[in-house]
Amino acid sequence: MSSDAMAMPSARTEARPWVEVVHEWVTTVDHKRLGILYIVYALIFLVIGGIEATIIRIQLIRPHNDFVSPQVFNRMFTMHGTTMIFFVAMPVLFGFANYLVPLMIGARDMAFPRLNAFSFWLTALGGLLLYFSFLGGNGLYGAGNAPDVGWWAYAPLTAKAFSPGPSSDYWTIALLVSGFGSIGTAINLIATILCLRCPGMTLNKMPLLAWLNLVMSGMVLIAITPLSAAQIMLLVDRYLGGHFFDTQAGGSAAIWMHFFWIFGHPEVYILIIPCFAFMSEIIPVFSRKPIFGYPVMVGATVCIAFVSLSVWAHHMFTIGMNSYANSFFTITTMVVGIPTGIKIFNWIGTMWGGSIQFKTPMLFSVGFLFQFLIAGLTGIMMASAPFDWQLSLSYFVVAHFHYVIVGGILFALFAAFYYWYPKMTGRMLNEPLGKLHFWLFFLGFHMTFDVMHFAGILGMPRRIYTYEPRPGWETLNLIVTIGAFIQGVAILVFVANLVYSYFKGPKAGNDPWDAWTLEWSVSSPPPAYNFASIPAVASRRPLWDLKHPEDPDSRYE
């Protein structure tokens, strides 16, 4: 990205030495630049994580394949999961939050700009540290190298006895470091949203994106930290001779699972809630109607946040908890589906009676709705503990969570990219390429992840580097792999679009989508100071009020 995009108009024609530009970006505390750094960082790791997935799928294309050894395969699925959650999904969502929240609430920057930069660089360091494991240290028996304990790093597989060498430590410390970065950004978002809103913007008049990022940040504070705590305990075990998870000394393997999933389940809501935010901003604009049921959307999200803290052991239905515990987690898991379903209905209600334009952001949004519905329903299936005794730890679960993460989160992210790229760069993304990206990805996604459910139903467990030639498994795995390649091509189309449009895309202007929130009131890209003068607002859609002075929202809210 050149500094042109951010410079004052008068400096546009100056060519500056690249060292200066790099220095500016490395030392920036501007929320917009940090947002872009987060997003670009995440995109790079998206490609790397995708390569890991491709290696996995090539190895599994037929039984008894020997594309990679079991040791390499186990590292691949560990790194794929860890990378995608911690170095793609979290950074990209924090990146969008960083960029958009101050603009949408009429502020000049985040509450703590230097903490913002520090948090980004902590996250970045974590990713680099994790990947250094491929090169770094050979421990005992040459057992260094990338971690291979799965992204949940279950005890006692991570004990020194079973994982000699530093590979597990790369996982632990990389995530500990980036976890602190996440906590920093969450604190920053909360302080920004609570303390820097422009005059007139009560919490009741705040864009849903701000509300949902507030809820998400609150969850980060109490969900990431259990993982940090467990990781500190793991380091105590591995280096100070502690026994937190040492089953030989009376320790419990299950308690790692509890700590991990107390983090792990809220984490997936942390990932999806900002995507709900994107949908809640994009669907109204392309339906030409306000969001249906704003207070309910806020309430449902807060409900989800609270209930999601009580469902974690549905990841542990098979560990032998008693029937009362299993029943408890069954009901809480089903209950959390209720506010989630309500949100889907509200989005449909927003589209109802509207005048829907199927530009690329809306295509991805509708894809999100369809796929998130299915993902939620397979979630309900697994909420039923006995059904889960068959489905868990199989490819059915892998299909379910990829349906949420790829079919839900990634589709929502693509929608967000196409929607806000013009604001961030001043240029529109190419619409035909966008549609090609959508259709290709939709095809590949369904080929892979619809079919994958059946492999689980036919008894195929997860995390296996090869499989016996059982009838059904071979054909299903072949189709899954082909779909993966199609998705890869679609991603390449997307990246090409991002790069090409940056240089050749049509100029966007302030408000290419005829939208209603404050970020569309400033230039594209915005000036460094965001607003010439801090705005004052009277409703949830300040630009609607400006464009329709005869019928402002403030009359109805």
Q: Which of residues 379-398 bind other proteins (CB under 8 A)?
A: 380-381, 383-394
Separation CA 164–CA 524 (nearest Å): 53
Residue 535 near other proteins by CB under 8 A: yes
Cβ proximity to other proteins, 38 vs 396, nearer residue: 396
Report, in Å, the least distance between residue 545 CB and other proteins.
6
Q: Is 394 helix (H, G, I), strand (E, B) or coil?
A: strand
Judged by CB under 8 A, the number of residues near other proteins is 163
Cβ proximity to other proteins, 39 vs 419, nearer residue: 419
DSSP state of 407: I
Cβ proximity to other proteins, 36 vs 234, nearer residue: 234
Separation CA 236–CA 348 (nearest Å): 50
Residue 472 near other proteins by CB under 8 A: yes
Interface residue with other proteins among 41, 87, 244, 421 (CB under 8 A) is 244
Residue 177 near other proteins by CB under 8 A: no
By CB under 8 A, what part of segment 54-73 binds other proteins? Answer: 69-71
DSSP state of 526: P
507 forms bridges with which residues in the sheet?
427
Q: 411-425 and 31-59 helices cross at what angle (nearest 10)?
A: 140
DSSP state of 357: -
Residue 86 structure tokens: 């911690």
Interface region with other proteins, contact rule CB under 8 A, candidates 25-33, 36-44, 371-379, 415-423: 371-379
Residue 164 near other proteins by CB under 8 A: no
Mention every residue, 6+ apart, whose C-beta is less than 8 A from residue 142.
Answer: 165
Cβ proximity to other proteins, 132 vs 439, nearer residue: 439
Do you know the residue count of the chain?
Answer: 557
Strand runs labelled E in 363-406: none
Interface residue with other proteins among 5, 61, 157, 489 (CB under 8 A) is 157
Cβ proximity to other proteins, 3 vs 384, nearer residue: 384
Residue 528 near other proteins by CB under 8 A: no
Q: Is 133 helix (H, G, I), strand (E, B) or coil?
A: coil
Residue 247 near other proteins by CB under 8 A: yes
Cβ proximity to other proteins, 18 vs 439, nearer residue: 439
Interface residue with other proteins among 22, 132, 318, 529 (CB under 8 A) is 318
Q: Is 379 helix (H, G, I), strand (E, B) or coil?
A: helix
Quickly list DSSP for 73-96: HHHHHHHHHHIIIIIIIHHHHHHH
Q: Is 427 helix (H, G, I), strand (E, B) or coil?
A: strand
Residue 442 near other proteins by CB under 8 A: yes
Residue 74 near other proteins by CB under 8 A: yes
Which pairs count as long-range contacts for 389-393, CB under 8 Å and 24+ apart, including other chains? 389/317, 389/318, 391/456, 391/457, 392/315, 392/317, 392/318, 393/318, 393/461, 393/462
Residue 8 near other proteins by CB under 8 A: no
Cβ proximity to other proteins, 26 vs 509, nearer residue: 509
Report, in Å, the least distance between residue 253 CB and other proteins.
5
Report, in Å, the least distance between residue 537 CB and other proteins.
6
Residue 296 near other proteins by CB under 8 A: yes
Residue 462 near other proteins by CB under 8 A: yes
Residue 114 near other proteins by CB under 8 A: no
Residue with tokens 């509708």: 366
Separation CA 67–CA 140 (nearest Å): 26
By CB under 8 A, what part of segment 261-290 binds other proteins? Answer: 262, 287-290
Residue 311 near other proteins by CB under 8 A: no
Q: How many of the other CB atoms lie within 10 Å of CB of 81? A: 18
DSSP state of 272: H
Residue 512 structure tokens: 């290419």
Report, in Å, the least distance between residue 53 CB and other proteins.
17
Residue 557 near other proteins by CB under 8 A: yes
Report, in Å, the least distance between residue 551 CB and other proteins.
8
Residue 355 near other proteins by CB under 8 A: yes
> How far are the Cα atoms of 190, 235, 428 from residue 227, in angstroms, in the given order?
21, 12, 40
Residue 88 near other proteins by CB under 8 A: no
Separation CA 111–CA 236 (nearest Å): 35
Q: How many of the other CB atoms lie within 10 Å of CB of 357? A: 13
Q: How many of the other CB atoms lie within 10 Å of CB of 23? A: 11
Interface region with other proteins, contact rule CB under 8 A, candidates 48-56, 84-92, 134-142, 475-483: 475-483
Residue 337 near other proteins by CB under 8 A: yes
Interface residue with other proteins among 259, 368, 418, 513 (CB under 8 A) is 259
Separation CA 155–CA 170 (nearest Å): 16
Report, in Å, the least distance between residue 23 CB and other proteins.
28
Cβ proximity to other proteins, 137 vs 218, nearer residue: 218
- R_g of the chain computed on alpha carbons: 23
Residue 369 near other proteins by CB under 8 A: yes
Residue with tokens 């200066």: 20
Contact predicate 216/205, CB 8 Å? no
Report, in Å, the least distance between residue 347 CB and other proteins.
9
By CB under 8 A, what part of segment 181-210 binds other proteins? Answer: 183, 186-188, 190-192, 194-197, 199-200
Interface region with other proteins, contact rule CB under 8 A, candidates 8-16, 36-44, 462-470, 489-497: 462-470
Residue with tokens 């996604």: 445
Preceding omega of 525 cis (within 30 degrees of 0): yes
Cβ proximity to other proteins, 136 vs 242, nearer residue: 242
Report, in Å, the least distance between residue 39 CB and other proteins.
24
461 forms bridges with which residues in the sheet?
394
